[in-house]
Amino acid sequence: MEMTIGQFAKLVGSTVRTLRYYDKIELLTPKKYNKNGRKVYTQLDWELFQQIMILKHFGLSLNEIKEQMTNQKFKNRELLQVQKQLIEKKQAELDDKLEVITRMERLYNIEGISEEELNEFAFIMLDLFRREKSQIKILEEHFTNEKEILKEIKMLHDPVYKEKMDREIWFLIQAIRNAIHYNDSISRKKVQEILNEMNNLFPASRNILNLVDNDHFLTTYNHEFTNYFPENIASYIYKELKTYYDENNNK
């Protein structure tokens, strides 16, 4: 089999431009020439092209494919294992992103909340969802010897529990916005009511709040807990939580 670059491109379902690029980077370089001095593709080139397509299918870059085909960096079984691990990692990342989107969609479907209201704080919620997995892991490690707190933290993995907390966090942010705007007793009372509901759902929040005053914890994990909150809302949340727990400690 001897084919010109155009004929070979049609045979393998590629383009002349792609084949010329492969030739340029010495990934697939035909060694045979026809009587007119032009490179022609042979059966061996067809086999090499198929190998390239197989490796490309499994996610290798062109440079990685070239190295594998030139130096046989991995045996075939090892290569498959490496790619399997990479694909599983990418799949886990995609699953995490899909979960964030799904949780946000649920908030948009809550009755009585306008899309405009949610849009105002959408990035706050998205950032909370985005960071949640790594934050839970850190909290689990930090409270590993405190069984009751750890038990509550592990509840955060439960999808049904997450949905309840997502709603309450959204209602809390909404209530705080109103309390800052109106600065009246009714608005502040609403914030306290939601905090009470959240405390019933997740009593461990009190222990987590105390970490704000833990210098060692903040020095180590500050970058993981710097959520996307406007300063006025972040300050208000902290102040209201401290007030809530101080008042309840004295009862």
Residue 68 burial by Cβ neighbours in a 10 Å radius (0-12, 13-18, 19+)? middle
Token pair for 118: 């949610």
| Per-position b or e across 19-39, b if 16+ CB within 10 A of its CB | beebeeeebbebeeeeeeeeb
At residue 102's C-alpha, the angle toward residues 97 and 103, to 5°, is: 100
**C-alpha 211: how far from chain center:** 25
241 contact partners, CB below 8 Å, separation of at least 6: 195, 205, 209
Token pair for 16: 């002349």
pLDDT at 249: 65
Q: Which fold has domain 5-73?
A: Multidrug-efflux Transporter Regulator; Chain: A; Domain 2 (1.10.1660)
pTM equals 0.69
| Per-position b or e across 109-119, b if 16+ CB within 10 A of its CB | eeeeeeeeebe
pLDDT at 217: 93
DSSP string across 187-246: HHHHHHHHHHHHHHH-TTHHHHHHGGG-HHHHHHHGGGS-----HHHHHHHHHHHHHHHH
Domain boundaries, the chain: 5-73, 90-249
The kind and range of the H/E element at 33 are strand 32-33
At residue 194's C-alpha, the angle toward residues 201 and 131, to 5°, is: 65
pLDDT at 11: 95
Tell me the pLDDT of the chain (251 aa) as tens digits.
Answer: 899 999 999 999 999 999 999 999 999 999 999 988 899 999 999 999 999 998 898 888 999 999 988 887 778 788 888 888 888 988 999 999 999 999 999 998 887 777 887 888 889 999 999 999 999 999 999 999 999 999 999 999 999 999 999 999 998 888 998 898 898 999 989 998 998 898 889 988 888 888 988 899 989 998 898 888 888 888 888 888 888 777 776 55
